[in-house]
Structure 1
Amino acid sequence: MKLVWRRAREARGLLVAAVIAALVAVALVTGLSDYNRRAVDAGQRALVAASPAEERGLLVSGSGGRDAAEFATRDKAVRAEFATGLGGVPVSVTAARYGTGRELTGDLGQIPRTADEPVFANLATFTDLASHAELTSGAWPAPGANPVQVSLPERVAGTLGLTVGERVPVRDRATERRGELVLAGTWRPRDPADAYWLLAPGVGTGSAGSGTSYGPFTLDPADFAATFPGSVSASWLAQPDLGAVDTADLPAVRKALTEAVTAVPEAAQLGSSGQTATKMPQLLDRIGRADLVGRSSLATPLLLILVLAGYALVLVAALLHEDRRPQTALLRARGAARRQLAGLAAREATLVVAPAAVLGPLIAGEALRYIRPGGSGDLYTAGG
Structure 2
Amino acid sequence: MSRVPPVAAPWVRTRLRAAPGAAVALALLVALTACLAAAFPRAVDRYEDAGLLRTLRQARPERTTVQVSAPLPVPGMTSGDPSATLRPEVLRRQYEKLIAAVGSPLSVDRGQSAYGVATDASPAVPDPWIPRPTGHPAHVSLAARSGLAEHARVREGRLPRASGPVDATSPGVEAAVTAATAKNLHIEVGSVIHVPGVGRGPLAVRITGVLTPRDPAGAYWSTVPLLRTPTLVALPVPGPVQNYWLGALLLPQEAAPALLGTGGEPARHWYLAPGLGGLRAHDLGRMRSAIASLQSGPGLRRARALTSPDADVGSGLDGVVASFSRLRSGISPLVAVAATGTATVAAVVLLMAGVLAADRRRPELALLRARGASLPGLAGRLLAETCVIAVPAGALGLTAALLLVPGGRAGHAVAAALAVTVTACAALPLHAALAHRSVRVTGPREDVTAPRPSRRRTVAELTLLVLAAGAVATLRRSGTSAGQLVAAAPVSTGVVAALLLLRLHPILLRGPARAAGRLRGAVGHLSLARAGRTRAFAVLPLLALLTALTTAAFGGSVLTGVAAARDRAALLTVGADARVDAAAPLPAGLDGRVRALPGVHGVAAVSITYDAKPQDGQETVPLVGVDPAPYAELAAHTGLAPFPAQLLKAADSLPAVASPSVARAYGIRRPLPVRLEDGSAVTVRIIAVRDRTPAVPGADFLVVDRAGLTAAAARPTSLLLTGAHLDAGALRRAAATASTAVRVRAEERSRYADSPLQTGAEHVYTAAVAAGAGFAFLALLLSLLRAAPERAALLARLRTMGLTRAEGRRLLVLESLPQALLAAAGGTLTGWAAIRLLSPGIDLTTVALATSPTPPTESGLRPDPWSLTVPAVLVLVLAVGVAALQAWWTGRRGSVRELRAGDGR
**Pairwise TM-score range, normalised by the shorter structure:** 0.7 to 0.9
Determine the C-alpha separation between the residues in 1 that align with 2:72 and 2:225: 18
Kindly provide the CA deviation profile for residues 16-43 of structure 1, in whole angstroms up to 9, marking residues without a partner as x.
1111111110000101111111211121
Q: Residue 114 of structure 2 corresponds to which residue in structure 1?
A: 94
How far residue 328 of structure 1 moved from its aligned partner, in angstroms, is 1.9
Q: Residue 338 of structure 1 corresponds to which residue in structure 2?
A: 375
Q: 1:269 aligned to 2:308?
A: yes
Equivalent residue of 2:67, what SS? strand
Match 1:34 to one of 22, 42, 66: 42
Q: 1:13 aligned to 2:21?
A: yes
Give the 5 Å matches for 1:205-216: 207=231, 211-212=243-244, 214-216=246-248
Residue identity opposite 2:211 in structure 1: T
Q: 1:217 aligned to 2:249?
A: yes
Q: Which deviates further from its counterpart, 179-188 or 356-365?
A: 179-188
Kindly provide the CA deviation profile for residues 318-370 of structure 1, in whole angstroms up to 9, marking residues without a partner as x.
33223312322332343322222212211122123212221011111222259
Q: Residue 380 of structure 1 corresponds to which residue in structure 2?
A: none
Determine the C-alpha separation between the residues in 1 that align with 2:249 and 2:207: 10
Match 1:105 to one of 110, 119, 127: 127
Determine the C-alpha separation between the residues in 2 that align with 1:281 and 1:177: 41
Equivalent residue of 2:226, what SS? coil
Determine the C-alpha separation between the residues in 2 that align with 1:248 and 1:352: 41
Q: Residue 124 of structure 1 corresponds to which residue in structure 2?
A: 143
How far residue 218 of structure 1 moved from its aligned partner, in angstroms, is 0.5
Q: Which deviates further from its counterpart, 347-356 or 183-192?
A: 183-192
Classify 1:144/1:317 alpha carbon distance in 2 versus 1 (closer, same or farther; 3 Å).
closer
Determine the C-alpha separation between the residues in 2 that align with 1:364 and 1:228: 61
Determine the C-alpha separation between the residues in 2 that align with 1:28 and 1:167: 67
Residue identity opposite 1:123 in structure 2: L
- Judge conservation of contact 1:60–1:265 (CA < 8 Å) in 2: no
Equivalent residue of 1:176, what SS? coil
Q: Residue 388 of structure 2 corresponds to which residue in structure 1?
A: 351
How far residue 226 of structure 1 moved from its aligned partner, in angstroms, is 5.5
Residue identity opposite 1:154 in structure 2: A
- Judge conservation of contact 1:171–1:179 (CA < 8 Å) in 2: yes
How far residue 253 of structure 1 moved from its aligned partner, in angstroms, is 1.2
How far residue 266 of structure 1 moved from its aligned partner, in angstroms, is 6.2
Q: Which deviates further from its counterpart, 219-228 or 353-362?
A: 219-228
How far residue 14 of structure 1 moved from its aligned partner, in angstroms, is 1.6
- Judge conservation of contact 2:194–2:203 (CA < 8 Å) in 1: yes
Q: Residue 236 of structure 1 corresponds to which residue in structure 2?
A: 270
Determine the C-alpha separation between the residues in 1 that align with 2:176 and 2:127: 18
Q: 1:59 aligned to 2:51?
A: no
Classify 1:46/1:90 alpha carbon distance in 2 versus 1 (closer, same or farther; 3 Å).
same
Q: 1:83 aligned to 2:100?
A: yes
Determine the C-alpha separation between the residues in 1 that align with 2:253 and 2:23: 75
Give the 5 Å matches for 1:144-159: 144=162, 148-159=173-184
How far residue 263 of structure 1 moved from its aligned partner, in angstroms, is 5.6
How far residue 216 of structure 1 moved from its aligned partner, in angstroms, is 1.2
Q: Which deviates further from its counterpart, 165-174 or 353-362?
A: 165-174
- Judge conservation of contact 1:68–1:229 (CA < 8 Å) in 2: no
Q: 1:3 aligned to 2:11?
A: yes
Classify 1:293/1:191 alpha carbon distance in 2 versus 1 (closer, same or farther; 3 Å).
farther
Determine the C-alpha separation between the residues in 1 that align with 2:312 and 2:332: 38
**Structure with more strand by fraction:** 1
Q: Residue 23 of structure 1 corresponds to which residue in structure 2?
A: 31
Kindly provide the CA deviation profile for residues 111-142 of structure 1, in whole angstroms up to 9, marking residues without a partner as x.
3484xx543432221122345x4437126514
Q: Residue 71 of structure 1 corresponds to which residue in structure 2?
A: 86
Residue identity opposite 1:15 in structure 2: A
Residue identity opposite 2:143 in structure 1: A
Match 2:212 to one of 187, 203, 216: 187
Classify 1:102/1:265 alpha carbon distance in 2 versus 1 (closer, same or farther; 3 Å).
farther
How far residue 291 of structure 1 moved from its aligned partner, in angstroms, is 4.5
Classify 1:295/1:349 alpha carbon distance in 2 versus 1 (closer, same or farther; 3 Å).
farther
- Judge conservation of contact 1:103–1:171 (CA < 8 Å) in 2: yes
Match 2:155 to one of 120, 137, 142: 137
Equivalent residue of 2:194, what SS? strand
TM-score, normalising length: structure 2: 0.36
Determine the C-alpha separation between the residues in 2 that align with 1:356 and 1:205: 60
Higher relative contact order (CA 8 A, sep 6+): 1
Identity of aligned pairs, percent?
Answer: 18
Residue identity opposite 2:148 in structure 1: L
- Judge conservation of contact 1:57–1:280 (CA < 8 Å) in 2: yes
Match 1:316 to one of 311, 331, 353: 353
Residue identity opposite 1:137 in structure 2: R
How far residue 90 of structure 1 moved from its aligned partner, in angstroms, is 2.6
Q: Residue 726 of structure 2 corresponds to which residue in structure 1?
A: none
Give the 5 Å matches for 1:165-204: 165-170=189-194, 172-174=196-198, 175-176=200-201, 179=204, 181-188=206-213, 190-192=215-217, 194=219, 197-198=222-223, 200-203=224-227
- Judge conservation of contact 1:189–1:203 (CA < 8 Å) in 2: no
Classify 1:365/1:267 alpha carbon distance in 2 versus 1 (closer, same or farther; 3 Å).
closer
Q: Which deviates further from its counterpart, 177-186 or 10-19?
A: 177-186
Equivalent residue of 1:155, what SS? helix
Q: Which deviates further from its counterpart, 32-41 or 260-269?
A: 260-269
Determine the C-alpha separation between the residues in 2 that align with 1:85 and 1:370: 25
TM-score, normalising length: structure 1: 0.79
How far residue 209 of structure 1 moved from its aligned partner, in angstroms, is 6.0
How far residue 286 of structure 1 moved from its aligned partner, in angstroms, is 2.7
Classify 1:224/1:262 alpha carbon distance in 2 versus 1 (closer, same or farther; 3 Å).
same
Residue identity opposite 1:269 in structure 2: S
- Judge conservation of contact 1:28–1:305 (CA < 8 Å) in 2: no
Residue identity opposite 2:132 in structure 1: I
Q: Residue 360 of structure 1 corresponds to which residue in structure 2?
A: 397
Q: Larger radius of gyration, structure 1 or 2?
A: 2
Equivalent residue of 1:234, what SS? strand
Q: Superposition RMSD on alpha carbons, in Å?
A: 3.7
Residue identity opposite 2:115 in structure 1: A
Determine the C-alpha separation between the residues in 1 that align with 2:186 and 2:245: 15
Equivalent residue of 1:83, what SS? helix
Classify 1:279/1:144 alpha carbon distance in 2 versus 1 (closer, same or farther; 3 Å).
closer
Residue identity opposite 2:106 in structure 1: V
- Judge conservation of contact 2:26–2:389 (CA < 8 Å) in 1: yes
Q: Residue 55 of structure 2 corresponds to which residue in structure 1?
A: 47
Residue identity opposite 2:32 in structure 1: V
Classify 1:209/1:68 alpha carbon distance in 2 versus 1 (closer, same or farther; 3 Å).
farther
- Structure 1 segments unaligned to the other structure (5+ residues): 376-384
Q: 1:280 aligned to 2:317?
A: yes
Classify 1:52/1:185 alpha carbon distance in 2 versus 1 (closer, same or farther; 3 Å).
closer
Determine the C-alpha separation between the residues in 2 that align with 1:180 and 1:325: 96
Q: How many residues matched?
A: 366
Kindly provide the CA deviation profile for residues 154-174 of structure 1, in whole angstroms up to 9, marking residues without a partner as x.
2221112233x3423536444
How far residue 12 of structure 1 moved from its aligned partner, in angstroms, is 1.6
Residue identity opposite 1:80 in structure 2: K
